[in-house]
Amino acid sequence: MRVRGQYEGIATDTVGLAIELSSPRDLDRIIADFDQCFTGLRDVGEMCSAQRSMILTAYQRGTLENLAANHSHILSDPVQNLHQRCVSQNSDQPVGHNFFVNATGFIDSGLPWAKQFNELVTERLNTTIYHIAGSNDLKAKNSLLAAMTRSPDQELMSSIAVYLAGRSLAGEEFLESHYGQILDRAKNQAIDMTRSIGASTGLRHEMIVRAVNQLQRTAFGSFDHLQGLVTTDNTGTLGDYQIGTLRVEVQFDGSVKAAKLRQGQEVHHILAHELQHAGSAQDLDRYRCGLQSNGQGLEVNEGMTEYLAQLSSGSPGIELLDNGNMRIKPGVPYTAPVYAMLALHEQFKSGRNSYFAILFNAYHGAVNDHDDLRQALDAFYRYDAEVAAQLS
Ligand SMILES: [Zn+2]
């Protein structure tokens, strides 16, 4: 079947997707990489946590010169990545402007790495970061940041690298301080649910263990607004997960100019959803995650993800009607695919077919037969199209 779900940018070929999802992949490396601090932090310097720790440790111990002499790329890579972000054609946001405006916030907060960076900029350019940030010339600010990061001497390189490492950690700690307890609660719920559904679908023990390990490790990303969104701002994106990282994010409510923290219940729902992505089978080439591979299967993957997020958090968006039917409450994301998945799960529980079990197990990396999976995908997409047509 070639079919395009309402959320899909490209049509999904269910035969190809079933073969793709059943082909052997190294699904265990994500945990090993995370434990060795090699997975990305989602910051503009594209650091991994080992690199960030090395930079901040050298800064605190006063050994940056040694680090520069022995492992110069640890300091130069993030600066080069920031430079690339400045000069790339991708002008989705004013990088230089955001960089300097954001820096004033870190300086105001009294963070020593931000104050020292400001002192160095003042000494070199005879102007302060406040002054640069206050200019209305967005292009000039971007050019200035591009020039500063093109081929800085060692002192400037170290200062920018420390600044990037500091802001990356501050961004992660910011999300952790506001939403850390909610993340822990959502994790425990997701772990319990994965174990209990996995037992009903015959998901192999090692697959359940891997999912639980991924869920337990999942942490917040750097929440770096130079790299991605910080507010929902008309995109409809409330949170985000980046394949292969085990790092989730909750975006601000409101607009860029009036950003607001989100509140408990909404944050819980966002994290319940992103955690399902984090716990699903994925590889490090960042193509495969859960039931989607390289954009194929996005609809079925989001349907499963949001349905499981609903189950793990007590099904707040699923309503049992007086006539015994069920419905998805308005406002639940991915309504049609979630309803299709709910229907398949009900059919599985009543013994009519095992499409849900096949999809759930494949979501966690276990496929016995790719043709069975193809049939389950077809069943999902038929249902999904029917529900979408009824809703429209
Ligand atoms: Zn999602």
pLDDT tens, residue by residue, 195-208: 999 999 999 999 99
64 alpha carbon – ligand 1 mean position (Å): 40
91 alpha carbon – ligand 1 mean position (Å): 25
For the chain, give percent helix, strand, coil, nearest 5: 60, 10, 30
341 with 303: CB under 8 angstroms?
Answer: yes
Task: Of 79-88, 106-115, 176-185, 226-235, give the lowest mean pLDDT range.
Answer: 226-235
How large is the average pLDDT for residues 343-366?
Answer: 98
Q: Cα separation of 327 and 336, whole Å?
A: 10
pLDDT band for 392, please (50, 70, 90 cuts): confident
Does 113 share its domain with 144?
Answer: yes
353 alpha carbon – ligand 1 mean position (Å): 26
193 with 311: CB under 8 angstroms?
Answer: yes
Does 23 share its domain with 100?
Answer: no
Which residue range is the domain that position 290 belongs to?
1-27+286-392
Report the candidate in 348, 302, 310, 352 with the shortest Cα–Cα distance to residue 327: 310
Give the number of other CB atoms < 10 A from CB of residue 170.
18
Does 64 share its domain with 130?
Answer: yes
341 alpha carbon – ligand 1 mean position (Å): 14
78 alpha carbon – ligand 1 mean position (Å): 28
Indicate the residue among 110, 145, 168 that finishes a domain: 168
Q: What is the pTM of this model?
A: 0.94
Q: Has residue 101 got a pLDDT over 80? A: yes
381 alpha carbon – ligand 1 mean position (Å): 17
Q: Cα separation of 287 and 334, whole Å?
A: 21
306 alpha carbon – ligand 1 mean position (Å): 7
Report the candidate in 57, 60, 38 with the shortest Cα–Cα distance to residue 49: 38
In percent, the amount of the chain with pLDDT more than 90 equals 88
Is 323 part of a structural domain of the chain?
yes
Structure tokens at 13: 């070929």
SS3 245: coil
270 alpha carbon – ligand 1 mean position (Å): 9
Indicate the residue among 136, 168, 200 that finishes a domain: 168
Is 245 part of a structural domain of the chain?
no
Indicate the residue among 114, 142, 168 that finishes a domain: 168
pLDDT band for 376, please (50, 70, 90 cuts): very high
User: Cα 119–120–125 angle (5° rounding)?
Assistant: 105
Q: Which amino acid is at 284?
A: L
285 alpha carbon – ligand 1 mean position (Å): 18
Q: Per-residue pLDDT tens for 161-179?
A: 999 999 999 999 999 999 9
Q: Has residue 255 got a pLDDT over 90? A: no
37 alpha carbon – ligand 1 mean position (Å): 25
Is 208 part of a structural domain of the chain?
no
In percent, the amount of the chain with pLDDT more than 70 equals 100
Does 86 share its domain with 11?
Answer: no
Give how many domains the chain has, as a whole number.
2
